Structure formats: structure tokens, C-alpha cells
Amino acid sequence: MSMPIHGAAPQKIVLPGVRCTLAVASGKGGVGKSTVAVNLAVALRRKGQRVGLLDADIYGPSVPMMLGLGTVDPRTTRFPLEKFGMKVMSMGFLVPPERAVIWRGPMVHKAVAQFLSDIDWGELDYLVIDLPPGTGDAQLTLTQSAPLTGAVIVTTPQDVSLIDARKGLRMFQEVRVPVLGIVENMSYFVCPKCGERSEIFRHGGGKRCAEEIGVPFLGAIPIDPAVAVQGDLGVPIVESHPDSEVAKIYDQLAERVYAAAQEVHAQQSPLPSL
């Protein structure tokens, strides 16, 4: 059952230099959403696109660690920062990892709105926004105020994750943001020694969920320990091992996301070719 969204929608933020704005979202935490967002952004950049990455998870920013960045002095630093050829902004640049951000929803919305509107993102082909997990007030306000071209939903194969993925998808439907598709992360594991494939968390749930709801299935990303290692080292797998199997899967994901965004964006202005 879909509940109506009450109250006036926040005013839309205008980003005149950004051609396509993508939200990477999940109905729950722990599905690797930020890992997908970071590697998708890097994959788009490696294809010649001008890319920005906004970490909108105010309470638990993880993008700085995944890109090898830390806190900076805002009085002497010009934002956004740059890493791997991308423009990047995160609350993690302003607050040390050991310090908790204890804010109510309106403060979170204000901070992200400032990250979007008060920072000079310049000319971008893609601004990838790593949304906080869930479907609460902060997420709803962000989806209503950010000028989103479309959303990518990240899930894992388990039923509990798929239930929450459906909730996230319905949130975007309520605010009339096109869902570009579903990504199934941690889909399977291939033993590096024997090559045997194991479906640790089951498999195929993301594709079935996409078919049931009528949105594209963008791909299945396997479990690869190197992805976590590279995230901790601050060099995403797509950047550090571009010829690896999982990096190639992210390249395919980038191509599918581009195609889906181009279809949505076609009536406004064509996107640059990959």
C-alpha cells in the first residue's frame, strides 16, 4: 500500500552546469551502496565523463575513506575536493571519523542542500549522489529537492533486503523520480583457486524484483575480497585493478546506467557519448 506524501515539497535546487544527476540508494544499510556509488562514479570517469560524487550520508559518510581522503580545514580548503579526476564532497571532510553527527532531519537537509547549491560543481556530465540508506525524512527531502535525473537501487539477494529495496523504489515513485534500475550486489562468490561459484546469499532476487516491479535489472556484482581491501586502502577496485573481472562488471553497469539515463534525459538534452 502506498501512503501519500503530505506537506509542501521543498524547492528544487538548480544545478545549471550538471547535465545528469544520479541517486544511488538502498532501502537498508549493509548492502554495499556506497561501494557501488564510488565504483560507478569512477567507471563513468574512466569512460571520459566529467564526474562529481556527493556523499549525502551525513551520519555515516564512507566516501572519504574509500577515496583515500580525510578531514580538512574548511577555512583554508576550497570545495569540492578532487580525487581520481572526480569532484567530491562529503561531511567526512568536515567531521573526524570518531566524532558522531547528532542532528535532526532539518539540519541534515540543510547541510546537503548547501553541498549541492553552495559549492561550485562546475560543468559535469554526471553528479552521483550516494544517498543515506532507508526511506525516512532525510531521504525523502533529498529526493524532492535535488534535481534528480534518476535513481539506482542497490540490494542484495536476501528476501529481507529485497523487501526494503521495494520500499526504496516506491519512495522514488512517490516523488516522481525515474528508477533507472536495480543492482544486485554481493550476488555470488567465485573461488579464486578452483573457480567454483557459490551463491552465499542466494542469487537472482534482484532480477526477479526488477521484473516484478517493471524496472530494468542493471547487473549482478559478485563478492570479491579485493573490493573491500581497495576500499579500505582508498583506491576503488575500478581504479586499482581496471582489468579485473569485477571492474569489468562495473564498466558494464556504467554503460547500462548511461543508457538508462540517456533515455530519461533525451527530451531535455542529449548526454555525451561514452
Q: In the prediction, which pLDDT does 267 show? A: 57
pLDDT at 268 over 60: no
With a cut of 50, say whether residue 205 has pLDDT above it.
Answer: yes
Which CATH number covers residue 118? Answer: 3.40.50.300
pLDDT tens readout for residues 145-175 = 888 999 999 988 876 667 878 888 888 888 8
Residue pair 124/17 in contact (Cβ under 8 Å)? The answer is: yes
Per-residue pLDDT tens digits for 171-190: 888 888 999 999 999 887 67
252: pLDDT confidence band, cut at 50, 70 and 90?
A: very high
- Bridge partners of 188, per DSSP, are none
Kindly state whether residue 173 falls inside one of the protein's structural domains.
Answer: no
pLDDT of residue 210: 85
**Centroid of chain to Cα 33:** 6
Under a CB-based contact definition with an 8 Å cutoff, are residues 253 and 40 in contact? yes
pLDDT of residue 2: 45
Residue 162 lies in a domain: no
Q: Rounded CA gap, 36 and 31, in Å?
A: 9
Q: Is the pLDDT of residue 245 over 90?
A: yes
pLDDT at residue number 202: 64
Mean per-residue pLDDT for 83-109?
85
Q: What is the pTM of this model?
A: 0.90
Give percent above pLDDT 70 in the chain: 86
Residue 249 lies in a domain: yes
- Maximum distance among all Cα pairs of the chain, rounded to whole angstroms: 57
Task: Give the pLDDT score at 201.
Answer: 62
- What the block records as the C-alpha cell of 268 is 531535455
Is residue 42 in a domain? Answer: yes
Contact 2, 134 (CB under 8 A): no
Mean pLDDT lowest among 46-55, 185-194, 265-274: 265-274
- Domain containing residue 31: 21-154+225-265
The number of folded domains in the chain is 1
